[in-house]
Structure 1
Amino acid sequence: MPSLDPGRNLLAIGQLAERSGTSVSALRFYEQNGLIASERTAGNQRRYRRDVLRRIAFIRTSQRVGISLAEIRAALESLPDARTPTRADWVRISARWRRELDARIADLQHLRSELDGCIGCGCLSLATCGLRNPGDVLGETGRGAVRWDSASHPDADEE
């Protein structure tokens, strides 16, 4: 008869790395930043509950779409009792992030269309290029490439 060892459902860090497709160093980084948690054995080795696999999937998917670790941590901290996100949690959290992602996509599409036009004509003339800024009028609205920041310069498409 098998032993009822309570630790048998725990994964060593190498096992977790293999199962999640995440490097051991990334797992340590996630733990240092409060995104995942481990238990320690008497020999001070990390052991992870299996539900951490779902948490890592949540973290990696969020990162892949451009969500910062700070935003991911805040989303995870919003869960009751620091539990692992469920499908319903993902739907709720991703809906909040959708607006931000849509704005980023719109900015990138705008940038791409302007760059295509400039590359297509090949002139790069500051007098006629769609990327022009005559008289440095955009310098009055802020620093950097304010034309591409639709949030701070909503009329960037008007010209």
Structure 2
Amino acid sequence: MASVKHTAIIDADPQSIWHVLRQFNSIAEWHSGVAHCTVEDGKSADTGGSIRKLMLADGGVVRQRLLSIDNDLMELSYGHEESELCITDFLADIKVRTEGDGSQSTVTWQAHFDMTNQDVTCHSVVSAFIIQGQQSLASKLMANITITA
């Protein structure tokens, strides 16, 4: 099983970051790699079990299920239901934590998955999507970002 983990420090308070991240259906509003997002079956976008369909900026399609969300801990996890990527058994989680005096936050985004072929490109695609997401999140909040790992 392959894994990718990136941690970023964003110059924004945790509640502001969590407000954006917790809206499972709004990823297209802040992630530059996602062109469009819809939630299927009329479910609430912030309820475990809801499925979002992403139209990626490169034309790909991914369906993701929200597995869990915890507003108190500021954590969510999701998995792929369907993907055109060369990966299977994809599980990811995002955690927001207070950094320093509370005016900064640590955002940790990690994913675990199997690759259908051992092409390094698959791993790189997931890594790039996560980094792009963290950078896009900071840009949406007009905040500085430092990716630490």
| TM-score range relative to shorter protein | under 0.3
| Structure with the bigger percentage of helix | 1
Give the strand-richer structure, 1 or 2: 2
Higher-Rg structure is: 1
* TM-score normalized by the length of structure 2: 0.26
TM-score by length of 1: 0.25
Higher relative contact order (CA 8 A, sep 6+): 2
